[in-house]
Chains A and B, each alone.
Chain A
Amino acid sequence: MKRNIKLLLGLFFSISLFVSCDLEELPENVDIVGPTSLADLEALLNAGYNNLGWPLGGNAQLYAEINGDNINGPGGLNSDETEIYNRSTSFFNNSIRDNMYRGFYRIVLDANVVLNQIENNLDAIGVTETNARIQEIKGEALLLRAIAHFEVSRFMSHSPGFSSDNSHLGIQYIKEINNAIGQTRGTVAENYADLLSDLKEAESLLNTTNSSDQNYGDKAAAQAYLAKVFFQAGFGPDIATEGSNYQMAYNYADAALMNTSAVFDVNLYQGGATGTERFAGNLLDNNNTESPNVETIFGIVSESIANSKGGTFQRYRTDTSISNTTIRIMQDLYNSIPSTDKRKDLLEEIDGEYFLLKFNKGIFNVPLVHYTEILLIRAEAAAETNSLLLAEDDINSILERAGLSTISGLSQSQLINLIREQRRIELLGEGNRVSDLKRIGIDENSLTIRNAPWNCNGILFQFPATEVFTGFIQNPTGGCN
């Protein structure tokens, strides 16, 4: 009897121990294993490209425009946008700003995950570092990382030259994958050094045409962004030893236009059947989207309604209905465009208010750098470096296409002013204007943006409250109204 009891007891506990062994509950709705093939790595990189559509599918462009002098508010703006318009983005609870900011760093994370995998996990992926595609992927990740940081820095910090040695505060340039813990802000000098380093490495790693998909990043894309970075630094101290900032902007713009398969689109303002559009896309009720515009050096593609990009551009849309959320354009801008200018057809006056017709679509292919923009950088950089004939050539192509008469023999400052005017009209709604003004302000200290000094505190966005930890220096507020 006693033995039986012992046996029974033993059985009880051994059963219980047996059932208690397995404590591994693996989640089924997520993948907990990292990449194990090149295709997996490409899928991670593709997320970075896809996520470009989050902040740059119209949000960043719109908020930059609202921050500048092209848009007439606060009519047509929601309360968060009105804060941007009033240049008093509260550090707290501006959800559209928070979302855009998060989106940029999401791209940074996607890029860093790819770079981290290339550095640490090639064995599991089953390739060596010398693999040509790996080198290209690395270049693409660096390009994405630089693009996202550059865009954030344009919202969050002043242009190079705001301080004589660029020691003014920039952003956090994130190169590692971090858990939760934040990083303090770098200086603008540090940010631009990082941007150049990433973009130059990308330039050297990328092919003239991307070997995987022509819409992915290529050499010209890196060069176009290098041109943008040098151009933004235009009036600041030189950020590279090879030449002055405008000289370098010229060189890279020139190289990008040489290398890219994109071409100058002479049909752009043609209208009618032969006319093309920079933001080619389509109406929402048609799943057959157009191809990206031929000028696109690098951009975001809407393949279908299921994964459509650029939806925020619909805020300008006038062809469906005009409501209290439709964006209004400044009257002075409208008036400044002569009626002979073909581009005036992209604007419309309705009951004393002015609207932009450029985005009358449901889905968009969003060019992030395009031929015209880089051409305008090349022109302005040439003018700034006193290569006036080169500048005239470039700006004349722009004028000609717009149906305006070409120019010659202008003085340097006349030429620069003309190029800047053309730049404002050409790139209207594309989010560059306020960055241009912040760049020009370095040179023209008396510049104002909508009646406020170009360098008033509130022109910079506040960092989201969630970014601010003890020791993090927030942007100052106020001073713009």
Chain B
Amino acid sequence: MKTFLNSMLLLVFLIPTVMWSQTTVSGTVTDQANVPLPGVNILIKGTATGTTTDFDGNYSISLKNGDIVVFSYVGFKPQEMSYNGQRPFNVVLIEDAAQLDEIVLIGYGVQKKSKVLGNAVRINSEDLKDTPVPSIDAALQGKAAGVQVIQGSGLAGSANIVRIRGISSISAGGDPLYVVDGIPITQDYFLQGDSNGQNNNPLASLNQNDIESIEVLKDAAAAGIYGSRGANGVILIKTKRGKEGLKFSYTGSVSTSDPTYNPQVLNNQDLLKVYQEAWENDGNTGLVPLPRGISWEQALNTNTDWVDLVTKTGISNRHSFSVNYGKSKLKTYLNLSYDDTESFIINDEYKRLSGRFNLDYQIFKNLKLGINSSLTRGVYDKVNINDTWRNAQSFSLPFYSPFKTNGDVDNTFANPLVELRYRDRRSEEMRSINSIAIDFQPIENLYLRGTASLDYMDFRDYYWQSLEIGRIDGTPEEEQNTYASETPFFVTNYNTNFTASYLWDLNDKNSFNFLLGTEYQRSERLLYRFGNPEGFINSPVPLYESDAPDFERESTGKSAFSFASYFGRVSYSFNDALDLMALARIDGSSRFGENNRYGFFPTFSAAYNFSKHDFIKNSKAISFFKIKSSYGITGNSEIGNDSRFGAFSIPNSGNVYLGKEYKSIIRLDNPDLKWETAQTVDFGVELNLFNNRIETELSGYYKKSKDVLLDLFQIPSSGFGESLWLNAAEIENKGVEFNITSKNIVSNNFSWTTTFNIAHNANKLISLGGVSPDLLEGGFNDTRVIEGQPIGTNYLVRFARVDQTDGLPIFLDKEGNETKTFDLANRVSAGSVIPDATGGFGNKFKYKNWGLDTDFVFTIGGNIYDSFAKRALGTFIDGDSNTTNVRTDIYDRWRNPGDVTNQPRLFYDHSQVQGLSSVWQYNHTGFLYDASYLRLRNITVSYSIPSSFLNGTGLSSFKVALTGSNLFTWTKFPGGDPEIARDFQFQRDRNLSPNVSYLSVPQAKSFTFIINATF
């Protein structure tokens, strides 16, 4: 037992030690197919002496006769070999059906998978598909039960939404904590504030080629060590590190990108018919007057396909070159990548150049230095989605011409060409994440680790518009002039942590593992505003191209937060069967009010492994059986940095009235402001069958969140204009998750593995702490929080049916009686934003050198609210500037008495619907759709050229693959892509409104051809 633990520890801390030599023996480690295995751990049993194989599976080590050598490698059964003078000392490892002894990351350390008490899911680099989405969290989709990933959209710089085990926050960020190589990185999606819904993606600078593995910590036992920031789960990302040997690797790919959904809108002829019908329905006679004074003759002769004007097939290229070098004490990994990602929207392109350098150096046998360094430059050339994608299918009518008769771009209506030709939007990001770590083992079984890191982000947003934008009658309008601005942000985030862990094996059966640690983090964001009062300058070119110095920038101070934390963990293991763990973290943060400066977050967990019991040992079916449970308290601290302070407006702001300075109160202080508290109870069963060929895990959880943060608009009569953060609401989440991995066929030439996972989450707002839900309203999306309902409930007037006789819509009032009057007072919570179940399944086939992977994702139940359907279904034409195009499902409308349909007659004027004061308020359940879908997320065919063909070419491997993404989707939603991550305005919007569509940009359908070569 003790020796086993020792060897484990060495594995864990990767501290090979050097011993005096006797005979140097070398050999090769291969798998059953004779493929060399790089990175195999080799250890002389009973000692701390070991080494690893290089890329060609070669190793050398000093042995004496009689030494027992242990060869272990992830995914293979460890093998013990006795050395009796064999030269070369070659070993063949046998694949292990169940990778139980995989080493997985846990918070502040690693752990043998079989010993993990918490609920965590791991994604390895091989599952990170090279698709044109510059966000690595996409790889998690459908892979982990209870981890809901909604891919942003097909836009090149789009950010995803990851929600672990439901939504338990309202105003505070509900995203998991992202920790890269031990560093909680800057992950604010709203650095630019509400940037017209197109938020920056803080994960865009992480290069997927650098990722070794991603670990998702779901429950308190796993995430509890992150204390006040663990309540929404934690995502641990580990980057690749150097291995023994010298190896070069190149991966290149080219992708196409097309929308998964092409807007189905009317052409000029059909739209004119619809208008005329609406006009006559309202009791008017004659030809309907067309918007902007366009004549019927013009309209009949103009048919612009606006969607075609703003879209294209995007072509993306990616290149990644890496060098691995490792020899005795020094191991390095170096990567250089360049990506150019184009979406299907014209002028939407993300370019990224990134480099990474990781180094490990064994200074002494008990002292190791590790360095991680990455530098990324991202350039996102973007367009405003309202002005292009949305207008193209709505406010830009098919009978409008893009050009005036003199050839100018027509700027007198919502013309997408104005955006495409005369405006320039760009974000530039320079991001560098660096850390240095020292591992020190002063005495046996005591491991000290100190890490210091720096995450720096230089983010600049540019906007420019051309002189041409105000072109009138052939000449640019001088008055308008150009408009150029630059908005920079600089975020410096540094982190230090120290941990000490000690292993104590009391005897063969009882062992302890202690961890003590402290961590300090500080993140500082420098704030600027544009120097001159207008907020822009005149410039003939965008400012990123201009030589103009940065003098236009004026500092407006900084916003910072800091965390100081102390944590400890005690694990106890009895007889390899019972595992107990207790951990606690104390978190203090500058964000918390002075009455609540420090929070205490304990977690307890227990697991019992029945595998050693006879009934398992004797069972032919069951090969592994473990139950586990945990209880813990975690928090969410995504509060605004300065929210706890009472404040008066900017000092010396230059605000004057009657020649005197004025200054007003902004908000009162909240000394009680603190984290959200989540109490989670978790229960899980792991059951493996048939010699671990089938692995299953079933878990259930109950999570109650208290003191949930509300960023409350203050009641207007309070006079405060700014919202106030307070801890008020209470939320409950409960759910079950199941996943299964089955190695259906495992043979030398052919293998087939199936994975399946499904999760159900039920979410309920228990209490809003007595505040008006209207004070939380304010995003684009009309979902809200209602006590007793899930977070983010649609609040709509109920639509009952269409009156067959006159085609008018019939609604239900609050009591459920039919009425033809539309009254917002009759709104009720309706539908469900949260699906009944989400999940994914996949199959992996391997035949000799061929591979075929398919990944499906699905959502069952829940509703999408199509917020633009009130216009897109042609219900109202409504005069001049408000006029929109309509969707082709308008053909199902009521036309004549007796028609049975769910679509009312056309209306020219919204006042035809009694009680409706504005067309934009026409939200009702008729536009609520089933959100279920099944999507073929990925299908990949790959082929590795057999190594025998590569002899003499210098290549050690060569692989080609073709991946198709989002090729097929099965859905009942008529309004677009059923996977919606709308253009969120702020965190609450991200939490509350994932399933509200408003001409949302669909996902990309893409084909990617990938080559990978190593030499």
Contact = CB atoms under 8 A, between A and B. Distances in A.
Interface of A: 2, 5, 8-9, 12-13, 15-17, 19-34, 39-40, 42-44, 46-51, 79, 82-83, 86, 88, 90-93, 98, 101-102, 105-110, 112-113, 172, 174, 177-183, 213, 215-216, 301, 303, 306-307, 464-470
Contacts of A86: 917
Nearest to B647: A30
What are the nearest 10 A-B pairs in CB distance? A109-B719, A28-B557, A20-B564, A47-B664, A46-B662, A27-B642, A50-B657, A25-B590, A30-B647, A29-B557
Contacts of B480: none
Contacts of B440: 8
Contacts of B917: 79, 82-83, 86, 88, 90
A141 to B, nearest CB: 13
Pick the most buried of B498, B657, B659, B918: most chain A CB atoms within 10 A of its CB: B657
Pick the most buried of A51, A180, A301: most chain B CB atoms within 10 A of its CB: A180
Contacts of A42: 660
A180 B771 contact: yes
Contacts of A51: 664
A27 B717 contact: no
Contacts of A183: 717
A48 to B, nearest CB: 8
Given A106-B721, A109-B719, A30 B664 contact: no
A19 B588 CA distance: 13
B772 A466 contact: yes
29 contacts: A5-B443, A9-B442, A16-B519, A20-B518, A20-B565, A30-B642, A30-B649, A31-B648, A32-B647, A40-B663, A44-B665, A46-B658, A46-B661, A47-B649, A79-B918, A91-B824, A92-B824, A92-B921, A102-B719, A109-B665, A109-B719, A112-B719, A179-B670, A303-B657, A303-B658, A307-B656, A464-B716, A465-B777, A469-B771
A31 B649 contact: yes
Contacts of A23: 562-564, 588-590, 597
Pick the most buried of A50, A183, A301: most chain B CB atoms within 10 A of its CB: A50
Contacts of A98: 716
Contact of B641 (A25, A47, A50, A107): A25
A30 B650 contact: yes
Contacts of B533: 306
A259 to B, nearest CB: 21
B498 A13 contact: yes
B719 A29 contact: no
Pick the most buried of A31, A86, A112, A215: most chain B CB atoms within 10 A of its CB: A31
Contacts of A9: 442, 448, 500
Contacts of A32: 645-648, 669
Contacts of B664: 44, 47-48, 51, 106, 109-110, 113
Interface in B559-587: 559-565
B668 A17 contact: no
Contacts of B719: 102, 105-110, 112, 174
Contact of A19 (B520, B646, B658, B670): B520
B556 interface: yes
B527 A179 contact: no
A82 B910 CA distance: 13
Interface string B632-646: 000000000110011
B562 A22 contact: yes
A109 B720 contact: yes
A19 B564 CA distance: 9
Contact of A213 (B658, B712, B720, B774): B658
B714 interface: yes
A472 B651 CA distance: 37
Contact of A46 (B560, B660, B669): B660
A215 B658 contact: yes
Q: How large is the interface on B (under 10, 10 to 19, 20 to 34, 35 or more residues)?
A: 35 or more
A466 B660 contact: no
A180 B716 contact: no
A139 to B, nearest CB: 17
B507 interface: no
Contacts of B450: 12
Contacts, number: 226
A31 B772 contact: no
Given A5-B443, A29-B556, A105 B662 contact: no
Contacts of B670: 179
A296 to B, nearest CB: 13
- By secondary structure, the B interface counts as mixed
Contacts of A15: 498
Nearest to B716: A102
Pick the most buried of B442, B496, B650, B660: most chain A CB atoms within 10 A of its CB: B660
A410 B648 CA distance: 58
A181 B562 contact: no
A348 to B, nearest CB: 25
A90 B771 contact: no
A100 B651 CA distance: 26
Nearest to A111: B719
Given A9-B500, A12-B448, A25-B561, 18 more contacts: A9-B448, A25-B562, A28-B558, A29-B650, A32-B646, A34-B648, A40-B663, A83-B918, A107-B719, A109-B664, A110-B664, A172-B717, A179-B720, A182-B715, A307-B657, A464-B716, A466-B774, A467-B772
Given A44-B665, A46-B657, A79-B918, A27 B559 contact: yes
Contacts of B775: 180, 466
Interface in B904-939: 917-918, 921
A113 B666 CA distance: 11
Nearest to A93: B921
Contact of A180 (B557, B563, B724): B724
B749 interface: no
Interface string B773-812: 0110100000000000000000000000000000000000
Interface string B495-517: 01110100000000000000000
A110 B665 contact: yes
A49 B662 contact: yes
Pick the most buried of B556, B564, B712, B726: most chain A CB atoms within 10 A of its CB: B564
B663 A43 contact: yes
A31 B774 contact: no
A162 B868 CA distance: 44
A162 B564 CA distance: 62
A203 to B, nearest CB: 22
B714 A25 contact: no
A312 to B, nearest CB: 18
Contacts of B713: 466
B559 A90 contact: no
Contacts of B748: none
A465 B651 contact: no
Nearest to B494: A19
Nearest to A21: B564
Contacts of B589: 23
B406 interface: no
Nearest to A108: B719
A131 to B, nearest CB: 18
Contacts of A33: 648
B658 A301 contact: yes
A88 B713 CA distance: 25
B718 interface: yes
A27 B647 contact: yes
Pick the most buried of B565, B659, B716, B921: most chain A CB atoms within 10 A of its CB: B716
Nearest to A102: B716
Contacts of B716: 98, 101-102, 105, 464, 466-467
Contact of B590 (A24, A28, A102): A24
Contacts of A464: 716
Contacts of A307: 655-657
A90 B558 CA distance: 41
